[in-house]
Structure 1
């Protein structure tokens, strides 16, 4: 019923928009050969736009022969006509517009203070013109950062680069990236990029900003060091140094360690030399979408596990699994009974065990389940593993199944058992053993050991 009342009213305003009867505003949109005069009514414009309301109220608009004159060379005529028509009759057909035009329309709405319309157009771009946005996410980000109200578009651009960092990182495009955008990207927990690559790209960017500085940091003068410190001071606290291995740190970061604050360097040394130190600073490891409730592993281990599960020799950037903690021995109990109570009938699981008073972690993956009493389960997809240093994912090694028919043993009296010959298993009172390599490739796991803690994660395909 209300729509029937509105229609004649809006139709009359549209007639006024088309006829321009008694107009008192002339808008000169565009410039040179692309310039066009658009006619409108001041009362309509000031009701619909704070920009025009301020212009008419403060009398800063030029006036000639009783008509207000606005010169808008930075807005194309056909873009301005779309906005003026919206002012009169509330109609905006974006489906016929291409991506560049829609973006130009969005920029114009920001200049005119049309926040509601700006949000509407941003939503439209993200939902309906993804191909346009995906073709140039860096350009989209640059536009978004130039306009404070383009928050949805900014978030979209950041997310696109975080998911596909090779669009920017490792290319020459990063060299001219505005500092504000680079800072926002480095703040993202879900940037799917190895931390050493984040560091390498940051150094490349800094040298591009200061091209006169010697490329060899060992040759820097005092003035060059000060210049680079000023360039990088806002970015260095955003690096997750706990996700850079000792070897990478020595090779890639140490040459530049004069740039690091003394307190940070001490924290890094403590992390690498004190086993109990778990993190540097307050920022978590990246790939927040793959965070894990664990006291033993982090998101980098998940990437390795996902690659092993998918039978690939490398860690996965985009992890297709969720790893849900279902047992932590220090919390739920370190017995076979606690294991079966928490882990039976949960489907695929991965087990992580920290060997007592060492940096080693061992474990295994069961793609089936742990339900059953004294039975062997057949699978080609299970594996066991060891990390000689749990802080360095490069020390991880996998043992694949060599005898699929005895890959797993389920027993109510024991905890998890990998291999009929107990390649890795836990007895009824929480002691772990590794009796050789009858079912899996040999990894040199200790013959028997106690654990500082162990965890079991349910592995669920996303």
Structure 2
């Protein structure tokens, strides 16, 4: 009923907008060949916009022969026409606009102080799912907080839409800095470092790609380029092997104090952190020298029966038992793992880079007792350093899928389970 009452009123305002009858406002939008006059009524604009109300109440608008004159060279005529029509009729269909026009419309709403319309357009742009393009616009205008927050969160949840691609090479420094400051960036820290170095070289294309060949001037140039970013790297989440291979070649970029802290972290057993920034959420979810956040994302996908890595990890992974620390006896295993709920076992095969393991969605109570589940699985990585070598085996016979085995005989039972009760699937990404 209310809609029926609203429509006639809206239609009458639309007729006034189209007819321009008794207009008293002339807006010159655009400039040069793109300039056009737009006619409106001051009472309508004054009621709908604080910007126009202030303009009509001050010396902002020139008044001549009973008419107000505005010049808006930075807003295209067709964009201004859309805004004026919205102020009259409350109507706006963004689905018929192209991307650039929608962004121009958003920028214009900020200038004119149309906060409700600005939020509406930001929500629309978010649904279009272009976080990189959104961020580039949002960081040019400080009031686009909704867009900025969405863009940063979207990339942190799915960093591979940016990191590791050529898109990062032209990313503005302010956006990159904002991303590296965040604790929820789901990316291994060594990849953060590698992408930062790629970005720095893209900003300074004349600098030699081999840091061992840098001149003093080239070193100074790269130091200035990376000065604001290096303190944002969580070096305590980079393994000593990764540090030696990837960071040491750029060792001269690091401040002396930081290098001493890193050295202490790798050499002193109880040193937990470097600098004031904590581990990123995805990296800090497990204490392991065999697996990292990529493995966890893949495990999470396997648990959810997606057979691929999840963009966001919906589970918390905590280390329960480490054989080198807690022992590899049956008693140690049951003491640590009983009554803990769902668990994943990861075992490295001595003398190789292979790891094998399995997921138990139930518990480890009992000994040599079969348990019924369709959700358990086993896995193997031919090279634990390469996530793409992972294969998963899913359940064929649910009634014999899970045996609460002792950790000391896990590998022998694993071989039997592979042959009898599981089907192997090549991991798909």
| Alignment TM class, shorter chain as reference | 0.7 to 0.9
Q: Deviations over 1:12-45 (max 9, x none)?
A: 4434323322222111223444433210122332
Contact 1:193 1:317 in 2 (8 A): no
Q: Kindly tell me: are residues 376 and 76 of structure 1, through their superposed partners in 2, closer, same or farther at Cα, counting changes over 3 Å?
A: same
User: Is 1:263 paired with 2:254?
Assistant: no
Q: Kindly tell me: are residues 399 and 269 of structure 1, through their superposed partners in 2, closer, same or farther at Cα, counting changes over 3 Å?
A: farther
3-state SS, counterpart of residue 51 of structure 1: helix
CA distance in structure 1 between the partners assigned to 2:234 and 2:21 by the alignment? 64
Residue of structure 1 in register with 2:135 after alignment? 141
User: Is 1:72 paired with 2:72?
Assistant: yes
- Aligned 1:304-343 pairs, distance under 5 A: 304-305=295-296, 307=298, 310=302, 316=309, 318=311, 322-323=315-316, 336=334, 340=338, 342-343=339-340
Residue 413 of structure 2, aligned match among 429, 439, 443 = 439
Residue 349 of structure 1, aligned match among 343, 348, 372 = 343
Higher share of residues assigned strand: 1
CA distance in structure 2 between the partners assigned to 1:244 and 1:139 by the alignment? 30
3-state SS, counterpart of residue 170 of structure 1: coil
Contact 1:138 1:157 in 2 (8 A): yes
Give the drift of 1:362: 11
Task: Structure 1 unaligned segments of length 5 or more: list them.
Answer: 354-360, 387-392, 411-416, 425-433, 442-462
Residue of structure 1 in register with 2:41 after alignment? 41
Q: Kindly tell me: are residues 280 and 351 of structure 1, through their superposed partners in 2, closer, same or farther at Cα, counting changes over 3 Å?
A: farther
Residue 234 of structure 1, aligned match among 228, 232, 251 = 228
Q: Kindly tell me: are residues 114 and 233 of structure 1, through their superposed partners in 2, closer, same or farther at Cα, counting changes over 3 Å?
A: same
Q: Deviations over 1:387-433 (max 9, x none)?
A: xxxxxx749999999xx9998544xxxxxx3xxxx4x1xxxxxxxxx
CA distance in structure 2 between the partners assigned to 1:199 and 1:95 by the alignment? 40
Higher share of residues assigned helix: 2
Q: Deviations over 1:123-171 (max 9, x none)?
A: 12323xx2xx43xx43322111111122222223223433443433333
CA distance in structure 1 between the partners assigned to 2:194 and 2:160 by the alignment? 13
CA distance in structure 1 between the partners assigned to 2:164 and 2:36 by the alignment? 44
Give the drift of 1:235: 0.7
Contact 1:303 1:319 in 2 (8 A): no
Q: Deviations over 1:296-315 (max 9, x none)?
A: 4499635325546849xx99
Give the drift of 1:351: 5.3
Residue of structure 2 in register with 1:116 after alignment? 116
Q: Deviations over 1:200-223 (max 9, x none)?
A: 221222233234444333344444
TM-score, normalization by structure 1: 0.69
Contact 2:134 2:151 in 1 (8 A): yes
- Aligned 1:135-214 pairs, distance under 5 A: 137-214=131-208
Give the drift of 1:185: 1.8
CA distance in structure 2 between the partners assigned to 1:216 and 1:24 by the alignment? 67
Q: Kindly tell me: are residues 338 and 246 of structure 1, through their superposed partners in 2, closer, same or farther at Cα, counting changes over 3 Å?
A: closer
Contact 1:291 1:299 in 2 (8 A): no
Residue of structure 1 in register with 2:266 after alignment? 272
Contact 1:349 1:366 in 2 (8 A): yes
CA distance in structure 1 between the partners assigned to 2:313 and 2:84 by the alignment? 48
Residue of structure 1 in register with 2:360 after alignment? 366
Of the two structures, which has the highest relative contact order with CA contacts closer than 8 Å and spacing of 6 or more?
Answer: 1
Q: Kindly tell me: are residues 173 and 304 of structure 1, through their superposed partners in 2, closer, same or farther at Cα, counting changes over 3 Å?
A: closer
CA distance in structure 2 between the partners assigned to 1:108 and 1:299 by the alignment? 52
CA distance in structure 2 between the partners assigned to 1:223 and 1:324 by the alignment? 46
3-state SS, counterpart of residue 189 of structure 1: coil
Q: Alignment RMSD, CA only?
A: 4.4
Q: Deviations over 1:309-364 (max 9, x none)?
A: 849xx99463665236697999xxx8957854x33xx4x422589xxxxxxx9986
Contact 2:183 2:280 in 1 (8 A): yes
3-state SS, counterpart of residue 68 of structure 2: strand
Residue of structure 1 in register with 2:292 after alignment? 301
CA distance in structure 1 between the partners assigned to 2:60 and 2:278 by the alignment? 52
3-state SS, counterpart of residue 146 of structure 1: coil
Task: Structure 2 unaligned segments of length 5 or more: list them.
Answer: 327-331, 348-354, 416-429
Contact 1:305 1:315 in 2 (8 A): no
TM-score, normalization by structure 2: 0.74
Q: Kindly tell me: are residues 42 and 372 of structure 1, through their superposed partners in 2, closer, same or farther at Cα, counting changes over 3 Å?
A: same
